[in-house]
Amino acid sequence: MADFICSADRLKEFSAKVLCAHGLPLCDAETVAGGLVHANLRGVDSHGVARIPIYAERLRCGLVNSAPDIRVIKDSGAALVVDGDNGMGAVVTMHALELGLQRLERHGSVSIAIRNSNHYSAGSYYAARAVEQNVAMWLYSNAPPTMAPWGGAKRYLGTNPYTFAVPAGKYDPIILDMATSVVARGKIILAAERGQRIPAGWAVTLDGEPTTDAKAALAGSVLPFGGPKGYGIALMIEIVSGILSGAGFGPRIGDLYEDFSKPQNVGAFMQLSSIDAFMTIEEFNQRMEMLVGEIKACQPASGVDEILMPGELEARIARKRQREGIPLAQHTYEALQRLGESCGVPLADVAQPAQA
């Protein structure tokens, strides 16, 4: 149950003001805040405003460039390499996305490799922007090493998330946004902060032993989903996001929370395809509606009430939270309140205690 409730608009305004107070220009602060609140709206609280304190700390320490010169350093028309100049991940990724959307006016598909970036929160933030333009999107990112390769005892790969999104006519867009680990590490971080245990099968200790202790899991390794299959997909993402982009890879990526000796140098890879390069959007939506309708009409398995599409549950949560407000746990509220007070932006003016 939530301890505090805050409207999405006011939480975004608070977040942007705090980030501005730590050196970001207003437009960039609003981009970052928009991504964090987007994650909270969709129920992905591990990637929401709980990240503001660490973002602010890295800005304060000069580990993130508050005024980056984001540049295209290699341009082949339908393929670009973008150097983020160590800017905020959301700012760099949204900049690359807008470049890609512009290129789709001349090319049916565009590929963009991104280097020298940082944590960009939830991939669904960028996916939502793409599907608004009737564009299919694939987005991959590497991450600091938290996962051992399949069969290994030492972590080397990140949770390496990927996002896929397409419009679906009258239905909510299909947005698959997931880590290649069993669970995003941010959820283990939240569990550790709350003093909660984690489910078995999420992670192992530093010695490679299974654990339900969140703190031991953070010291150890998360596990890939699907065993060797998840490992293979995580490796693929490491290659396109880290190797091909020229970004950091493996242990060369700075840990968001623990490494204050260097910038993160996170890499990403984005593929955009205009639906109308293949068929009219009307035909595509009609076919998507058939697909979604037929899948949802399949008989549910025993104990299952409804078959859901990727992103459908999150879209429902977003509509509910847009109406009723975003819940904030006590520890998140307190961390944001302390940070806000330190820069003259009190959270108490924005968030209210939840009704019992």
Domain boundary assignment for the chain: 1-61+325-356, 69-181+224-314
Measured in residues, the chain has a length of: 356
State the pLDDT at residue 348. Answer: 82
Q: Write out the two tokens for 134.
A: 């009737």
**pLDDT bracket for residue 351 (50, 70, 90):** confident
Which DSSP string do the residues of 21-75 spell out, in sequence order?
A: HTT--HHHHHHHHHHHHHHHHTT-GGGTGGGHHHHHHHHHTTSS-SS---EEEEE
Over 70: is that where the pLDDT of 219 sits? yes
Place of tokens 């609140």: 37
State the pLDDT at residue 249. Answer: 98
Residue 233, number of CB atoms within 10 A of its CB: 18
**3 or 21, greater pLDDT:** 21
State the pLDDT at residue 356. Answer: 59
Q: Are strands 71-75 and 79-83 parallel, antiparallel or unpaired?
A: antiparallel
Residue 281, number of CB atoms within 10 A of its CB: 15
CA–CA gap between residue 125 and residue 3 (Å, rounded) = 26
Residues 6+ apart with CB under 8 A from 134: 167, 274, 275, 276, 281
Over 90: is that where the pLDDT of 208 sits? no
For the segment 235-270, what is each residue's pLDDT rounded down to a tens digit?
A: 999 999 999 999 999 999 999 999 999 999 999 999
CATH number, span 69-181+224-314:
3.30.1370.60
Q: Which amino acid is at 197?
A: R
Q: Write out the two tokens for 287.
A: 């076919």
Report yes or no: 167 and 288 within 8 Å, Cβ to Cβ.
yes
**pLDDT bracket for residue 153 (50, 70, 90):** confident
State the pLDDT at residue 124. Answer: 98
Q: What is the mean pLDDT of the chain?
A: 96
Q: What is the pLDDT averaged over residues 347-352?
A: 85
Q: How far is CA 232 from CA 123, 151, 162, 229, 271, in A?
A: 20, 12, 13, 5, 20
State the pLDDT at residue 2. Answer: 66
Residues 6+ apart with CB under 8 A from 30: 12, 16
For the segment 37-96, what is each residue's pLDDT rounded down to a tens digit?
A: 999 999 999 999 999 999 999 999 999 999 999 999 999 999 999 999 999 999 999 999
Could you tell me what percent of the chain has a pLDDT over 70?
Answer: 99
The alpha carbon torsion through 251, 252, 253, 254 (nearest 10 deg) reads: 90
- Chosen CATH of 1-61+325-356 out of 1.10.1530.10, 3.40.50.1970, 1.10.10.10, 1.10.1040.10: 1.10.1530.10
Report yes or no: 64 and 58 within 8 Å, Cβ to Cβ.
yes
Report yes or no: 309 and 174 within 8 Å, Cβ to Cβ.
yes
Over 80: is that where the pLDDT of 278 sits? yes
Q: How far apart are the first and last CA of the chain?
A: 9
State the pLDDT at residue 36. Answer: 99
Which helix (H) or strand (E) segment holds residue 230: the answer is helix 228-238
Over 70: is that where the pLDDT of 1 sits? no
Burial class (CB in 10 A: 0-12, 13-18, 19+), 296: middle
Could you tell me what percent of the chain has a pLDDT over 90?
Answer: 89
**pLDDT bracket for residue 14 (50, 70, 90):** very high
pTM of the model: 0.93
Q: What is the pLDDT averaged over residues 180-196?
A: 88
